[in-house]
Amino acid sequence: MPEETYKQLVDEKFKRVYAQMDANFGLIHTKLDSIHCEVKKTNGRVNQLEEKIHDVEIHEAKGACPNTPIVEDLSKKEIKNSQIRRAFYWVVGLILAGAVTQILSATGVI
Same domain, 8 and 53: yes
Rounded distance, CA 12 to CA 63, Å?
75
Taking residues 18-46, report their average pLDDT: 87
Q: Taking all residues of the chain, what is their mean pLDDT, rounded to a whole number?
A: 83
* pTM more than 0.85: no
Same domain, 88 and 104: yes
Handedness of CA 84, 89, 95, 97 (dihedral sign): negative
> Domain containing 24: what range?
1-66
Same domain, 48 and 89: no
- Whether 62 has a pLDDT exceeding 70, the answer reads no
Q: What is the pLDDT of residue 95?
A: 92
Q: Which residue has better confidence, 29 or 68? A: 29
